[in-house]
Amino acid sequence: MKIFIYAHLDEPAKAHLRESLSGHEAYWADKHAPTPADVKAFSTSEICFGNVPAEWLQAETKLRWLQLESVGFEYYQKCQALVTQKNILITNLRGMFAKPAAESAVGGLLALLRGIDELAMGQNSRRWISLEVRPRMGLLHGRKVLILGMGSIGQKVGAMLKAFECEVSYYARTNPEATFRSPEQLDARLHLFSVVVNCLPNTPETENFFHRDRLRRLSREAIFVNVGRGSTVDEPALVELLQAGKIGGAVLDVFKQEPLPPSHPLWSCPRTIILQHTGGGYADELLDKARFFVVNLDFYQQGQPVQNRINLTLGY
């Protein structure tokens, strides 16, 4: 089978692929500067591993299966009709980043509450600032937490926070086990939570979900965590609340524009931790992506259902 490789990989990941794909015709494209030869090779490949430009899917192609190197796939929704018409199978990496992203969410929360970001600055200048930091410290224990989104990240965060004796509620449109199923139910209770963890994906329905009026319902002690997508939040409104001390703080992994521009006011908002979209990161992540593809390739070859199939029309 002709396999086109267009993923961001490190040496261990490449070595794993080279070994595992030895029986296949693998074409390694240069992701940073694709050539006309690369585009031509793609058009004759049956399988692709990596997030190719959407235009390539729109051109003449023999592609049957696209394994994305990401969880997000919103970028491909613009070629939804064509992909459906051509019957191209698309799979993502759903679930792979649940543990790291949930650890970053809880780690960011604890860092903010336990003053660890301030202490890192003190450490850098060898200053003992213990007495300055202590009066600003708080506890995660016993907080009322709302998690938006009951996907793998949201559920992981919830499981962890229960060990901190937090009372965990969920907002999710389609999961019958969610505490809140509609924005109206949510808005009526949002002020009751002292931690709000946004794990919403980027879909047309979640665009600007945390608009100004909704953000204003947050309580004065509420810490707003975003490990979902930047598109779901009205950032200028969030900046105003943080600067005015009208909410307890923020832990933000994702932004409307990434990298966050140097001039962006979020960088210096009080009681705000900027995680720089590292939430899914861990040392072996590229190797694990390659491993996932190889396992899925095995299912594909054996005619078994591949894992993590996505439906661009339904948006999940």
Confirm if 119 and 132 have CB atoms less than 8 A apart. Answer: no
DSSP the chain: -EEEE-----HHHHHHHHHHTTTSEEEE--TTS--HHHHHHHHT-SEEES---HHHHHSS----EEE-SSS--GGGGGGHHHHHHHT-EEE--TTTTHHHHHHHHHHHHHHHHTTHHHHHHHHHTT---HHHHGGG----TT-EEEEE--SHHHHHHHHHHHTTT-EEEEE-SS-TT-SB-SHHHHHHHGGG-SEEEE-----TTTTT-B-HHHHTTS-TTPEEEE-S-GGGB-HHHHHHHHHTT-SSEEEE---SSSSPPTT-GGGG-TTEEE-TT-TT--TTHHHHHHHHHHHHHHHHHTTPPPSSB--TTTT-
The residue among 163, 176, 165, 175 whose CA lies nearest residue 199 is 175
The catalytic position among 94, 229, 264, 271 is 229
Taking the complex as a whole, the smallest distance from the CB of residue 273 to a copy of itself amounts, in Å, to 7
Tell me which of 281, 301, 304, 313 binds a copy of itself, using CB under 8 A. Answer: 281
The CB-of-106 to a copy of itself minimum distance in angstroms stands at 6
Among 74, 167, 234, 285, binds a copy of itself (CB under 8 A): 285
Least Å from the CB of residue 109 to a copy of itself: 8
* Catalytic residue, candidates 94, 277, 291, 309: 277
**What is the C-alpha separation between 40 and 53, in angstroms, rounded?**
13
Residue 243 binds to a copy of itself (criterion: CB under 8 A): no
Q: Which of residues 125-154 bind a copy of itself (CB under 8 A)?
A: 126-130, 133-141
Tell me, yes or no, if 189 is annotated catalytic.
no
Q: Residue 32 or 126: which CB sits closer to a copy of itself?
A: 126
Asked whether position 32 contacts a copy of itself by CB under 8 A, the answer is no
Q: Nearer Cβ to a copy of itself, position 23 or 128?
A: 128
Q: Among residues 84, 123, 185, 243, which is the contact residue for a copy of itself, using CB under 8 A? A: 123
| Residue 132 or 205 having the CB closest to a copy of itself | 132
Q: Is 268 in the site for a copy of itself (CB under 8 A)?
A: yes
In angstroms, give the least distance from the CB of 194 to a copy of itself: 13
Per CB under 8 A, the segment of 29-37, 203-211, 264-272, 297-305 that binds a copy of itself is 264-272
Neighbour-count burial of 294, counting CB atoms closer than 10 A to its CB (0-12 exposed, 13-18 middle, 19+ buried):
middle
Among candidate residues 55, 54, 51, 45, the one with its CA nearest the CA of residue 21: 45
Residue span binding a copy of itself (CB under 8 A) among the ranges 46-54, 224-232, 237-245, 255-263: 255-263
Q: Is 126 a catalytic residue?
A: no
Give 3 or 242: the residue with its C-beta nearer to a copy of itself.
Answer: 242
Size, binding site for a copy of itself by CB under 8 A = 57
The site map against a copy of itself for 151-190 (x = CB under 8 A) is --------xx-xxx--------------------------
User: What is the closest distance, in whole angstroms, from the C-beta atom of residue 132 to a copy of itself in the complex?
Assistant: 10
What does the alpha-carbon distance between residue 90 and residue 49 come to, in Å, rounded to a whole number?
10
Catalytic annotation, residues = 229, 277
Binding site for a copy of itself (CB under 8 A): 10, 99-100, 103-104, 106-108, 110-111, 113-117, 119-124, 126-130, 133-141, 159-160, 162-164, 258-260, 262, 264, 267-268, 273-278, 281-283, 285
